Chain A
Amino acid sequence: GQQVMQIPQYQHVQEGEDFTTYCNSSTTLSNIQWYKQRPGGHPVFLIQLVKSGEVKKQKRLTFQFGEAKKNSSLHITATQTTDVGTYFCAGGKGFQKLVFGTGTRLLVSP
């Protein structure tokens, strides 16, 4: 079945450092979504990418969808303690089956 892997599994950075998580799918995706889950919380939608090679920005966050639509990345510039949480990518074929990646847990020290 479809598998979506993320690396790294865990990253600990100092506040102000950059952070990147990578998402790789075993199959071509129709779209990719990114979610953030705070400790003890539930996943919250961040963004959706649909087009091959698409790049979107939200303040300090930059999201990219690969040309082959099988991989994606999330880059955070100058992390803040409020960025702490687990970041998931999610995607599927034809949208319907929303399969989540393994997640990257980010810890930010002040």
Chain B
Amino acid sequence: DAGVIQSPRHEVTEMGQEVTLRCKPISGHDYLFWYRQTMMRGLELLIYFNNNVPIDDSGMPEDRFSAKMPNASFSTLKIQPSEPRDSAVYFCASTDRGQAFFGQGTRLTVV
């Protein structure tokens, strides 16, 4: 398996634009997590899914953020409209109840 795959690796966008981050978890893993990492706030859990169903989205900062998992092999995190304070590295991770495997992350810069 190629591991957790995230795209794009880097994204630079203008304030107000819509941003979509993508994640392909490891096949067979039934949990998927989205995290945001910044220097100030560390590694924050935004939302997690179990068997494609959102279980806890209490970490999603605002209504501008939304996440979906239409099937077991794909998830998206969307920000609309984006703001400069959304600039961060966004990680997706998947697990089958053991260790979590992280993707390489998407570095988002909103200017």
Contacts and interface: CB of A to CB of B under 8 A. Distances in A.
Interface of A: 1, 33, 35, 42-45, 48, 88, 90, 95-103
18 contacts: A35-B100, A42-B102, A42-B103, A42-B105, A43-B43, A45-B100, A48-B98, A48-B99, A90-B100, A96-B55, A96-B56, A97-B45, A97-B56, A98-B93, A100-B45, A101-B42, A102-B42, A103-B43
Contact of B48 (A45, A88, A98): A98
Contacts, number: 47
Nearest to B95: A98
What size tier do the contact residues of chain B reach?
20 to 34
Nearest to B43: A100
Contacts of B93: 43, 98
Q: Is the interface of B mostly helix, strand, loop or mixed?
A: strand
Residue of A48, A88, A90, A98 with highest tally of chain B CB at under 10 A: A98
